[in-house]
Amino acid sequence: MRDSAERLVAMANDIANYFHSDPDRNAGIDGVANHIRRFWDPRMRRKIVAHLAEHGGAGLNDIAHAAIMRLAASSAAVSPGPAPV
């Protein structure tokens, strides 16, 4: 089974591949960051930001990497998730 950070990297890269066709690179990066902000659980966002901090974002393509850096700079990346059950 794949490590969860590795899976999140693959997911971020898939999203970035979709937005890669945008001729405006910044718009593509914003699209990836907004998608992750809107649709990923806060725990997933924290894990991918931690991967960026701990491993330099190893495995992320350039657009995904830039988007995760933007998330890391925003409060959306570290907002608390649901309370543990």
DSSP the chain: ---HHHHHHHHHHHHHHHHTT-SSHHHHHHHHHHHHHHHS-HHHHHHHHHHHHHHTTTT--HHHHHHHHHHHHSGGGT---PPP-
For residue 46, tell me if it sits in a domain: yes
Structural domain count of the chain: 1
Q: Note down pLDDT in tens along the chain; length 85 residues.
A: 356 999 999 999 999 999 999 999 999 999 999 999 999 999 999 999 999 999 999 999 999 999 999 999 986 455 555 544 4
For residue 84, tell me if it sits in a domain: no
For residue 44, tell me if it sits in a domain: yes
For residue 29, tell me if it sits in a domain: yes
For residue 83, tell me if it sits in a domain: no
How far is 73 from 16, CA to CA, in rounded Å?
18
For residue 35, tell me if it sits in a domain: yes
For residue 72, tell me if it sits in a domain: yes
Q: Which two tokens stand for residue 6?
A: 């590795």
Residue 53 lies in domain: 4-77
